[in-house]
Amino acid sequence: MANQRKKRRVLRRIARERVFELLKNCERYPDFSSEYVERIKELKKHYKLSFDWNIKKMFCKHCDTYLGRYPKTRISKNRISIICHNCGRKREYIIKEKRIKKQ
């Protein structure tokens, strides 16, 4: 039982490294970025990986294109809007205020 967990952990670590390699390839070869994004999503689904917000914002959920490190972004009072350059869809993220502890 413990051996299976250890094996699963190792496989997930290898899959995560593969995902980061594919992200680098997306930047280097933008013509093949949609294929790389499909592979990344397959790895994520198969190995049940979760990513940070910084990585999630690099892909369009609708058309699976790579938006790059600096996508078209709009910032309002409490929202960040990221616009896809391929399909024009907009994703919005709410900015939470940091609460300062009173002493």
Instruction: Please give the pLDDT value at position 25.
Output: 92
Mean pLDDT for the stretch of residues 67-73: 82
> pLDDT of 13-59, one tens digit each?
999 999 999 999 988 998 888 899 899 999 999 999 988 878 888 88
Q: Would you list the domain boundaries of the chain?
A: 2-94
Q: How far is CA 80 from CA 53, 73, 84, 92, 93, in A?
A: 12, 7, 13, 6, 5
How many CA atoms lie less than 13 Å away from 49 in the CB half-sphere?
25
Look up the pTM and report it. 0.74
Whether the predicted pLDDT of 85 surpasses 80: yes
List strands edge to edge, sheet with 72-75: 72-75, 79-83, 90-94
Q: Show the CA angle centred on residue 95, arms to residues 93 and 100, nearest 5°.
A: 160
CB 34 within 8 A of CB 64: yes
